[in-house]
Each structure stands twice: as structure tokens, then as C-alpha cells.
């Protein structure tokens, strides 16, 4: 005996529900659970905005300054703060450590200083491909405040982050604001300094109770 139209419709609805549940599980695995009060697109726009407004200029300045300082070390003023410690050091020019900058402000393939800028940088403020410092900015960054593609710090900001307060596309830590997690402590902390992220949080849609549909 053929199924009645009602039975056929019920089967179709059941199949659609199964497919919807399967797709939701896949989406949750990639992006985290769907939250009606969190706009992931606005979060991504805010991340791009701050990266372009703050991080990109720093990267461009570094990419311009380091090659110039290393190519023309004779134009970098040299005077010593302490014996053997120059205020500026461009890749150890004229010293016993070519390629490595060591000074209050240091440039080099490896730079060590109060302000260190280079391929690898260690300093109070360190900027480089790999950076270690109180404030570290780089492709990989480790510091109290760390900003980079991969960042580890008390405050970590980047594509991937690990720390106490984390703002990242994908982050791990005690208080995290990311695509997957929006911890209240992290939201309050980061939106105070980066207010554009407030746009990612919207009022939840109202839930309207509806009686179960019954065929008659």
C-alpha cells in the first residue's frame, strides 16, 4: 500500500532534520556552536580593521627601516650609552658581531636591545619575524603583551593566541575572545580598548513558543 501524502511528508521532514543536524555538527567542529547574539562576520571585520590600522603600519616600518639600516650602517649615528653599548647598532656594523645588532636601539638579522627590530628580536620592545619582549610584535611573538600571527603572552592578540587574555581567530586561555569562545571577561576587557568588536555582539533573536505541529 502506498504511503499517504502525510506519511511521505513526515519522512521528508525527518530526512531534512537529519541532514540539518549533520551539517550543524560539521559547522560546529569548524567554527564552534552557533550563537544568535554573536556575529562572526563582524568579528572578522574588526580583526581585519585593527590589523590594517595598527599592525600593518608597524610591519611596513620594520620592513623599510631594517634593510636601510643594514645597507647604510655608516649613516646610523654611533655613540655609546655605556662602554661597548651603542645607542644605535645596525647589524653590528664595525664591530665583532656582524649581522647581530646589540644596543639600546638595535637592528639586525638578530637584534638585542631595549628596542629591538629584526628577523629575530629580543628586547623590552621587540619587533620581528620572531619576537621576545615585554611588548613583542611579530610573526611569532612571546611577551607580556604579544601581538602576531602566533602570540603567547599575558595579553595575546593574533591569528592564534595563548595567554591570560586572548583576542584571536583561534585562541586558548583563561579569558578568550575568538570565533569559538566569547568569555565575558575577555569581551569586557578587549572591547574597552577595541570598541569596534562591540558590533559583533547583537541582541538575541526572540524565541516564540509554537505548539507542535499536528496533522489532522
**Would 29 be classed as within a structural domain?**
no
Residue 54 has pLDDT above 90, yes or no: no
The answer to whether residue 210 sits within a structural domain is no
- In 3D space, the residue among 108, 173, 183 whose CA is nearest the CA of residue 146 turns out to be 173
Query: pLDDT tens digits, residue range 159-175?
Result: 999 999 999 999 999 99
Q: What is the mean pLDDT of the chain?
A: 80
Greater confidence, 60 or 216?
60
CB 168 within 8 A of CB 155: no
> Is the model more confident about 94 or about 105?
105
> For the chain, what is the total number of helices (H) and then of strands (E)?
4, 4
Report field, pTM of the whole predicted structure over 0.75: no
Of the pLDDT bands very low, low, confident and very high (cuts 50, 70, 90), residue 95 is low
How do residues 100-146 score in pLDDT, each as one tens digit? Answer: 888 898 888 889 999 999 889 999 999 988 999 999 998 899 999 99
CA dihedral 50, 54, 60, 66 (to 10 degrees): -140
pLDDT band at 85 (very low <50, low <70, confident <90, very high): confident
> Looking at residue 61, what is its pLDDT?
78
Cβ neighbours of residue 90 closer than 8 Å, sequence gap 6 or more: 69, 70, 73, 76, 101, 107, 108
Query: What percent of the chain is modeled with pLDDT above 90?
Result: 39
Could you give the number of structural domains in the chain? 1
Q: d(Cα 117, Cα 88) in Å, to the nearest integer?
A: 11
127 or 1, which is more confident?
A: 127
Q: What would the pLDDT profile of 17-43 be if each residue is shown by its tens digit? A: 777 666 666 655 555 555 677 888 899
Instruction: Band the pLDDT of 60: cuts 50, 70, 90.
Output: confident
Query: Given a cut of 80, is residue 156 above it in pLDDT?
Result: yes
Residue 147 lies in a domain: yes
- Each residue of 171-182: b (16+ CB within 10 Å) or e? bbbebbbbbbbb
Residue written as cell 623599510? 64
Rounded mean pLDDT, 45-70: 81
CA distances (Å), origin 141, targets 133, 150, 156, 163: 8, 6, 9, 12
Q: Is residue 9 included in any domain, yes or no? A: no
Domain membership flag for residue 95: yes
Ramachandran class of 96: left when φ > 0, alpha when ψ lies in -120 to 50, beta otherwise: alpha
Q: Which domain holds residue 129?
A: 38-200
> So what's the pLDDT on residue 182?
92
Q: Does residue 176 have a pLDDT over 70?
A: yes
pLDDT value at residue 216: 46
Amino acid at each position: 500500500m502506498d504511503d499517504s501524502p502525510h506519511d511521505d511528508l513526515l519522512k521528508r521532514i525527518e530526512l531534512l532534520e537529519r541532514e540539518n543536524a549533520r551539517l550543524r555538527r560539521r559547522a560546529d567542529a569548524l567554527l564552534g556552536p552557533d550563537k544568535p547574539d554573536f556575529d562572526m562576520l563582524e568579528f572578522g571585520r574588526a580583526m581585519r580593521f585593527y590589523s590594517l590600522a595598527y599592525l600593518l603600519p608597524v610591519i611596513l616600518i620594520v620592513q623599510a627601516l631594517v634593510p636601510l639600516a643594514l645597507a647604510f650602517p655608516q649613516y646610523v649615528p654611533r655613540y655609546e650609552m655605556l662602554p661597548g653599548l651603542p645607542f644605535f647598532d645596525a647589524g653590528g656594523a664595525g664591530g665583532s658581531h656582524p649581522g647581530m645588532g646589540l644596543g639600546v636601539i638595535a637592528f639586525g638579522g638578530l637584534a638585542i636591545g631595549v628596542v629591538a627590530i629584526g628577523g629575530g628580536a629580543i628586547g623590552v620592545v621587540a619587533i620581528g619575524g620572531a619576537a621576545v619582549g615585554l611588548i613583542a610584535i611579530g610573526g611569532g611573538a612571546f611577551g607580556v603583551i604579544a601581538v602576531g600571527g602566533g602570540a603567547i603572552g599575558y595579553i595575546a592578540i593574533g591569528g592564534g593566541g595563548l595567554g591570560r587574555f586572548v583576542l584571536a581567530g583561534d585562541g586558548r586561555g583563561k579569558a578568550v575572545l575568538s570565533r569559538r569562545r566569547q568569555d565575558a571577561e575577555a569581551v569586557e576587557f578587549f572591547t574597552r580598548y577595541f570598541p569596534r568588536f562591540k558590533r559583533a555582539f547583537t541582541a538575541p533573536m526572540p524565541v516564540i513558543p509554537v505548539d507542535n505541529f499536528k496533522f489532522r
